[in-house]
């Protein structure tokens, strides 16, 4: 029972989804699918297949995709330290 509140934070979540402007069968998704961090994923739109393209230990919340869909990249988050 105590872990139920934690489970809702570990469900897959999509925060942004973008389709390449000149190649609509390719896209990029920013989401959390492992229950740990939010990362950028390359998205094959017709099949729905996702492939992680970022692996930042604190997550990656921002990404870009080339207009032709040839590649996408992310910008790792930075945490302020006191």
- What is the separation of C-alpha 49 from the centre of its chain, rounded to a whole number of angstroms? 12
pLDDT of residue 76: 66
pLDDT of residue 20: 95
Q: What is the pLDDT of residues 33-59, one digit of tens each?
A: 888 889 999 999 999 999 999 888 888
Instruction: Find the helix or strand (DSSP H, E) in which 77 lies.
Output: none
pLDDT of residue 5: 77
Pair 59, 39: CB distance under 8 Å: yes
pLDDT at 78 over 90: no
Residue 5: phi and psi, rounded to 5, are -65, -30
């Amino acid at each position: 029972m105590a872990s139920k509140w934690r489970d809702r934070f570990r469900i897959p979540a999509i925060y942004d989804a973008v389709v390449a402007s000149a190649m609509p069968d390719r896209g990029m998704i920013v989401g959390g699918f492992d229950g740990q961090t939010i990362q950028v994923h390359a998205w094959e739109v017709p099949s729905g297949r996702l492939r992680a393209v970022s692996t930042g230990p604190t997550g990656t919340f921002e990404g870009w995709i080339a207009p032709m869909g040839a590649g996408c990249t992310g910008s790792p988050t930075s945490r302020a330290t006191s």
